[in-house]
Amino acid sequence: MIKFHRSLLAVPLALIAGSALAGPITPAETKATVATLGELVEFLRLPNVTPKSSADIRVNAAWLEAKLKAHGWKARQLPDGDTPMVWGEWAGAGPKAPTVLFYAHMDGQPVNPKEWKQADPFTPVLRACANMDTCATLPLDQLSAQAGPQSDARLFARSAADDKAPIMMLIAAVDAMKASGRKPAVNIRFIADSHEEGGPPTLAKVVADNRADLAGDVVVMLDGPMHASNKPTVVFGHRGGGGLTIKVYGPSEAMHSGHYGNVVPNPAQNLTRLIASFKDADGKVTLPGYYDGIDPAFKAAVKAYPVEDDEAGLLKRAGVAKAEGFVPNYREAMAVPTLNLVGLFAGSGGVLDRSIIPADASAALDLRTVPGVSFDHEFALIRAQAEAIGFHLTDGPPSAEERARYPLLATIKGGSFSKALFTDPAQPMGRWLIGGLKDSFGGDPVVIPLMGGGVPTEPLVRELKAPVVILPLVNLDDNQHAANENLRLGNYAQGVHSLVSLISRKP
């Protein structure tokens, strides 16, 4: 799955620690939390970069299958070439109870050990972090002593937050339920993806091949970071999108800029003129109809569930003076399609070592869609704009006849990564999630109608025909996908409590 980078709002550590709703952690939850943290350390010691080693993923799958069975689950590996996924089931609620399918992934992003503040990203390090800039390393044997809902100690390792911790939280939640003698209100099914981070995406086939074992009344994706306040967070959608490339053709070969400047048209100049026609000075896309078709129910949810964000912190983190001005705030910016220029190339790639008019110039663009708007719609508008300002579009390098006939020539190609998702919070499953977290934590959770990044919901929606929601459980400042990825132990304890609260409540 091509994973979109999630926008993370800058937030002080003190805010993360101090603003979390204090959940009433039970003794059974505390015991399960402590016990499974040690197992999480075992899990984190297993390298899990799918493109680097299929053998490593097989080791992870075997470990997780065995761990689920050791905790009383049914479990098996789901065939997926050299990199199996893992299925689990705990049906403690009985045959007539609703079923929740939990999704998580066991693969992780590549690592560059030189960027980490530890010798090996797959050797977990425990640190006390009252301030992220001055963390103090602790012996790993203090892990149990540092566990607790208000703990600011952190485990540093690849996949500590994204996404092995939520897997172990789910196992711990079931352990806590069994230890306390509480009967669950739902049955649990579980799938651990092995290709979410590194691709190629294989989830659709695995789900189609195992549809009966994965069927449920709702799909809960355990992925992503919580809101900056660190309050319980529920996400009801994400952007979709895709990418495209534009290649503008000039002379049939690069030509001397001194001898031919002012005579031979420059493709780089023509390309930038085309790109400049897409947006105004405030960042608003000017292509007619680009913002048409947004799902009215989604638009209503954005208004109904306002979210307070640290927008000043975001701008400071980004190192920019102001945001683009055509939307009033961060969440409403997430709620409209985007058109982003992500790369330009012409001639010598910006190095003035040749005085030439380049033969061609290329641009890469990233389009993000929202519920109700398709990539194909946006892609067609871009092609139409190119034709409107005089470009003749070809399927590849133009022929001699086309070069002689058309002064402006370009190729535009692209494709969709995934569709946008929106599950109405007013649905029964939405009320189940929001109500369960509110009851257990004594306050309203943060309800986010749409996040900017994406997760692989499309095959789950298509194959299982069930509503999909996203339940983030880890700290916002977890450095996911980057060096020094970390898990705040307080989030681990609260995550276990969140899951207990949900599986104890009937949808």
Query: Of the candidates 213, 188, 191, which has an alpha carbon nearest to the alpha carbon of residue 92?
Result: 188
Average pLDDT over residues 101-119: 97
225 and 83 belong to one structural domain: yes
Give the alpha-carbon dihedral of 105, 106, 107, 113, to 10 degrees.
130
Please give the share of the chain, as a percent, with pLDDT higher than 70: 94
Burial of 97 (0-12, 13-18, 19+ CB in 10 A): middle
The CATH code of the domain that includes 262 is: 3.30.70.360
Q: Is residue 3 part of a domain?
A: no
Residue 415, classed as helix, strand or coil, is strand
Task: Give residue-wise pLDDT tens across range 140-194.
Answer: 999 999 999 999 999 999 999 999 999 999 999 999 999 999 999 999 999 999 9
More confident residue, 313 or 135: 135
Domain boundary among 394, 418, 442: 418
Whether the predicted pLDDT of 381 surpasses 80: yes
Cβ-proximal residues to 288 (8 Å cutoff; 6+ apart), any chain: 381
For residues 259 and 182, state if they share a domain.
no
pLDDT value, residue 391: 98
> Residue 487 is encoded by which pair of tokens?
């898990």
Q: Which two tokens stand for residue 72?
A: 């009383």
Q: Is residue 313, in this structure, part of any structural domain at all?
A: no
**Does 5 reside within a domain?**
no
142 located within any domain: yes
320 inside domain: no
Strand 218-221 to 468-470 pairing: parallel
* Neighbouring residues of 290: CB distance < 8 A, sequence distance ≥ 6: 337, 339, 378, 381
> Structural domain tally of the chain?
2
Distance CA 45, CA 87 (A): 21
Same domain for 271 and 389, yes or no, is yes
pLDDT at 54: 97
pLDDT tens-place string over residues 33-61: 999 999 999 999 999 999 999 999 999 99
Q: Is there a single domain that holds both residue 224 and residue 96?
A: yes
Whole-number pLDDT of residue 8:
37
CA distance 146 to 152: 8
CA distances (Å), 227 to each of 159, 265, 474, in order? Answer: 19, 50, 9
The pLDDT assigned to 97 comes to 96
- The pLDDT, as a whole number, for residue 314 is 84
* Residue that terminates a domain, selected from 418, 446, 472: 418
Whether the ω angle into residue 360 lies within 30 degrees of 0, i.e. cis, is: no
Judge whether 468 lies within some domain.
yes
Same domain, 378 and 429: no
Does this model's pTM top 0.95?
no
In this structure, is residue 307 part of a structural domain? Answer: no
| Confidence label for 454 from pLDDT (cuts 50, 70 and 90) | confident
372, 239 in Cβ contact below 8 A? no
CB 394 within 8 A of CB 402: yes
pLDDT of residue 7: 36
pLDDT in tens, 243-263: 999 999 999 999 999 999 999
Residue 317 is predicted with a pLDDT of 80
Confidence (pLDDT) at 507: 79
- Same domain? 179 vs 256: no
Does residue 351 have a pLDDT over 80? no
CATH of the domain at 30: 3.40.630.10
| pLDDT confidence of residue 6 | 35
The Cα–Cα gap between 439 and 449 comes to 20
Residues in the chain: 507
Amino acid 349: pLDDT: 60
The tokens for 238 are: 């994400």
Mean of per-residue pLDDT scores for the chain: 92
| 100 vs 326, more confident | 100
Query: CB-based contacts of 401: which residues, under 8 Å, 6+ apart?
Result: none
Whether residues 431 and 385 share a domain: the answer is no
Q: Is 327 part of a structural domain of the chain?
A: no
Cα 86 from Cα 190, distance rounded (Å): 8
Residue 56 CA, distance from chain mean position: 23
Q: How far is CA 501 from the centre of its chain?
A: 24
d(CA 247, CA 244): 10
Domain that holds residue 382: 242-297+334-418
Model confidence at 322: pLDDT above 70: yes
| 131 in Cβ contact with 219 (< 8 Å) | no
Question: Is 161 in contact with 474 (CB distance < 8 Å)?
Answer: yes
pLDDT tens profile 7-34 = 333 344 434 444 445 568 999 999 999 9
Q: What is the pLDDT of residue 350?
A: 57
Question: Among 4-8, 42-46, 407-411, 485-489, where is mean pLDDT lowest?
Answer: 4-8
Cβ proximity of 50 and 83 under 8 Å = yes
Rounded distance between C-alpha atoms, residue 333 and residue 325, angstroms: 10
Q: What pLDDT score was predicted for residue 353?
A: 62
